[in-house]
């Protein structure tokens, strides 16, 4: 089925209009961010450890103005905007990270992205990752597949060697027979992009250390799920988004037997 038919058939009511809105806004936010990429933008530290740049603020301001002008009844949750509990009364919420992977962005790495999603009742209804330095755009709607640059994508079948990302402390907890099959993937500071790599068949799985936030994963979660993978918490459940608590514990992403092994590892962290 052609892409334009996929995004108009079977999606939750209203989301077919949200997806083009998200794609257009994310694309322009990517253009804004690229003006700063490699040009030494001004940087501040949040909480003493996490960098934020004028590029993050510029992209966030554009997205907030554009998206809320189009959907004034939606809530707003963004990494770079002070959280307003008023959003909890909205039926749908924009969940945004204007630059996911800011640290890598500032170091000149290309694997960063603009992440935008629409969430209702804790579930992502539309998700877009705009990755302008990689010339890639990912998007998904529930039940209609995931796409990269207009082509449908899927997780890859597990081979004899599994390529995995995430904390070594967690991979070291995997069974010995699995550890013997692992190949460590180069680290990407953008969690959203790592999940997109799994969705696109470029990576098999990743552990996600505790303290990921909704804006890091809401869009990528849907893209991964529609590509045949899953993102699971320590109880084996899919995360919920845009609630009162926006921070998550350890997570595991992947598919099939390998995901089951990763999920078992993080489940044991509570033991």
Question: What pLDDT is recorded for position 245?
Answer: 97
What CATH number is given to the structural domain containing 230? Answer: 3.40.190.80
State the pLDDT at residue 12: 64
Q: Is residue 28 a known part of a binding site? A: no
- Domain count for the chain, please give it: 2
Q: Is residue 6 part of a domain?
A: no
Check residue 213 and report its DSSP letter.
B
Does some domain include residue 7? Answer: no
Q: Check residue 142 and report its DSSP letter.
A: T
Residue 91 is part of a domain; what is its CATH number? Answer: 3.30.540.10
- Residues spanned by the domain of 46: 17-152
For residue 149, how many C-alpha atoms fall within 13 Å in the half-sphere facing its CB? Answer: 6
65 is in an annotated binding site: no
Task: Find out whether 120 is annotated in a ligand binding site.
Answer: no
Helix axes 191-199, 214-226, angle to 10 degrees: 0
Q: Which one of 94, 122, 152 terminates a domain?
A: 152
Pairwise CA distance, residues 129 & 191, whole Å: 11
Same structural domain for residues 139 and 47?
A: yes
pLDDT for res 167: 87
Q: Is 214 annotated as a binding residue?
A: no
Cα(110)–Cα(124) distance, rounded to whole angstroms? 26
User: Helix, strand, or coil here: 136?
Assistant: strand
109 and 48 inside one domain: yes
73 is in an annotated binding site: no
What is the pLDDT at residue 9? 53
Q: What angle do CA 250, 86, 97 make, to 5 degrees?
A: 45
What span, in angstroms and rounded, lies between the C-alpha atoms of 231 and 140?
Answer: 15
Q: What 3-state class would DSSP assign to 231? A: strand
> Considering 126, 152, 178, which residue would you say is the last residue of a domain?
152
Q: The whole model's pTM is what?
A: 0.94
* Overall size of the chain counted in residues: 271
In the predicted model, residues of the chain with pLDDT beneath 70 are 1-16, 271
Q: What is the pLDDT of residue 204?
A: 98
């Amino acid at each position: 089925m052609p892409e334009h038919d996929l995004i108009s058939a079977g999606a939750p009511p209203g989301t077919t209009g949200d997806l083009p809105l998200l794609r257009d806004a994310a694309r322009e936010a990517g253009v804004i961010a690229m003006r700063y990429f490699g040009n030494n933008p001004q940087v501040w530290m949040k909480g003493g450890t996490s960098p934020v740049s004028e590029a993050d603020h510029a992209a966030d301001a554009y997205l907030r103005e554009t998206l809320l002008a189009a959907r004034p009844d939606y809530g707003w949750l963004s990494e770079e905007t002070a959280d307003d509990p008023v959003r909890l009364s909205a039926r749908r919420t924009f969940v945004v990270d204007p630059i996911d992977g800011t640290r890598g962005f500032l170091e000149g790495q290309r694997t960063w992205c603009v992440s935008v999603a629409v969430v209702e009742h804790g579930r992502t209804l539309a998700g877009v990752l705009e990755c302008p330095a990689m010339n890639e755009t990912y998007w998904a709607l529930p039940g209609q597949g995931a796409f990269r640059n207009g082509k449908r994508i899927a997780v890859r079948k597990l081979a004899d060697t599994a390529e995995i990302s995430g904390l070594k402390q967690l991979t070291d907890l995997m069974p010995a027979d699995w550890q013997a099959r692992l190949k460590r993937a180069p680290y990407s500071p953008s969690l959203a992009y790592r999940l997109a790599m799994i969705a696109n068949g470029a990576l098999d799985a990743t552990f996600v250390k505790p303290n990921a936030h909704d804006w890091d994963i809401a869009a990528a979660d849907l893209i991964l799920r529609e590509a045949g993978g899953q993102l699971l918490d320590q109880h084996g459940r899919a995360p919920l988004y845009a609630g009162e608590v926006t921070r998550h514990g350890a997570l595991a992403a992947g598919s099939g037997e390998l995901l089951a092994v990763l999920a078992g590892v993080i489940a044991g962290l509570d033991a």
